[in-house]
Structure 1
């Protein structure tokens, strides 16, 4: 069995699990991610809003790292975007960035951590 056939088989297995309704996500975008949370026998959607500071991997393994500041403390969360736990992803605002990873935002406080907004 050649390497091409193995990769093709992997792609065929992953294809039904890929989501089609995901918007184009870029580094520096301000997003609102709806996460399904199960409490007892009830299920609800909790929204997490922040800036995408990193994007990793491809295909079904694509993850985004979203950072927000809550009461002056930086909180980061990594989301697997094709996960069934992710209900929705909405892009609220896009920013002009010149880096592929915005890890430098971790060291900035207050207004210094703002990014220049781009308009479509």
Structure 2
């Protein structure tokens, strides 16, 4: 059983929003998905084919070594 919830985006309760996957859809409003079940309810994953899209998060994750002065 799925539960649909809405949250105000700018509330102080929400610290950050992480996008895990992006879906490839042709509509802005996805209300039609509420009635769909099974394979019809799946959304194709949008692949990021921009050059250097995967390299940026990997470089950011490596912490810089502290230097002794």
With the length of structure 1 as denominator, give the TM-score of the two structures: 0.38
1:94 lines up with 2:22 in the alignment = yes
With the length of structure 2 as denominator, give the TM-score of the two structures: 0.63
User: Where does the alignment leave 5 or more consecutive residues of structure 1 unmatched?
Assistant: 1-72
Runs of 4+ aligned residues of structure 1 deviating over 6 Å after TM superposition are: none
Whether the 8 Å CA contact 1:74–1:106 is kept in 2: the answer is no
Q: CA separation in 2, counterparts of 1:111 and 1:87?
A: 33
Shift of 1:102: 0.5
Q: CA RMSD in A?
A: 1.0
**Number of equivalenced pairs:** 48
Q: CA separation in 1, counterparts of 2:29 and 2:6?
A: 14
**Of 86, 108, 111, which aligns to 2:36?**
108
Q: Larger C-alpha radius of gyration, 1 or 2? A: 2
Shift of 1:119: 1.0
User: Where does the alignment leave 5 or more consecutive residues of structure 2 unmatched?
Assistant: 49-69
Which structure shows the bigger proportion of residues in strand conformation?
1
